[in-house]
Amino acid sequence: MQRACRSCSLHELCLPLGVSDTDIDLLEKIVHRSRPLPRGKYLFREGDPFTSIFVARSGAVKSFTVGQDGSEQIIGFHLPGELLGLDGLTQGVHAASARTLETVSVCEVPFERLEETARQVPALQHQLLRLMSREITKREEQLLSLGKQAPERRLAVLLLSLSVRFSQRGYSATRFLLPMARIDIANFLGLAAETVSRLLRRLQDTQVLAIDGRAVDILNLPELRALAGAEPEEPAREACR
């Protein structure tokens, strides 16, 4: 059974505050909610015409480009409530591909219809601009965080980012499953897979993490923040599932 926007657990991430039920009804009419997509399915491919933006409702997606030699370069991992597809807005075609990392449910929003609806709902128009700005800022921060950093710091930055983003979605900040394989982590961070495995073992040996397969338990969040170069703060509160 499809969930309406007003009852979706991610509505606070996707919808602006103060939007009336009537306005939400306008949005619901243009949103297409797909059946769950299995691992390895494309939402769009590099070079496809830009027609829609996507929001994952469950599961994780990776975005990547393909080099002339056919190799992938992962440029992002996307969790529930995060937008995908804005890369196609400027040129009218997607500059990257997006493929599911696990079983994923998504909302697809035709962009032309979204623009029409946003003109009728000023709060939605403001939210759309805010989300676009946030995506640009996030990409810039990612480049600054990962560029020319030591391998251990790159890995710590990624793990801390996942911790924060899972927490924002009502899950534990210190205990979660990695949606991506280690080889994908290595690709994203610009490291060898063996280096990622070695760094994860070091983090376990120093009791910063406990890892069982893809299950991660952050044992020392302040230390992980320090390794990532983040400002000290109180440990994130555990959220109920």
Q: What is the mean pLDDT of each run of 10 residues along the chain (241 residues)?
A: 56 60 76 89 96 91 93 93 86 95 92 84 74 69 70 94 90 95 95 96 97 96 93 51 37
**pLDDT score for 14:** 65
* pTM for this model (two decimals): 0.83
User: What whole-number distance in Å separates Cα of residue 95 and Cα of residue 64?
Assistant: 9
**pLDDT score for 97:** 97
Percent share of the chain, pLDDT over 90: 54
The pLDDT tens digits of the residues spanning 149-181 come to 899 999 999 999 999 999 988 899 999 999 999
Q: How far is CA 94 from CA 61, 98, 135, 157, 158, in A?
A: 15, 10, 15, 27, 25
**pLDDT score for 12:** 59
CATH topology of domain 5-145: Jelly Rolls (2.60.120)
Q: How far is CA 46 from CA 66, 75, 97, 184, in A?
A: 8, 13, 5, 18
**pLDDT score for 239:** 39
**pLDDT score for 128:** 73
**pLDDT score for 96:** 95
- Listed by start position, the domains of the chain span 5-145, 150-228
User: What whole-number distance in Å separates Cα of residue 32 and Cα of residue 2?
Assistant: 10
CATH topology of domain 150-228: Arc Repressor Mutant, subunit A (1.10.10)
Q: Which residues contact 33 (CB under 8 A, 6 or more apart)?
A: 2, 3, 57, 105, 106, 107, 108
**pLDDT score for 240:** 36
The answer to whether the 5-145 and 150-228 domains have the same CATH topology is no
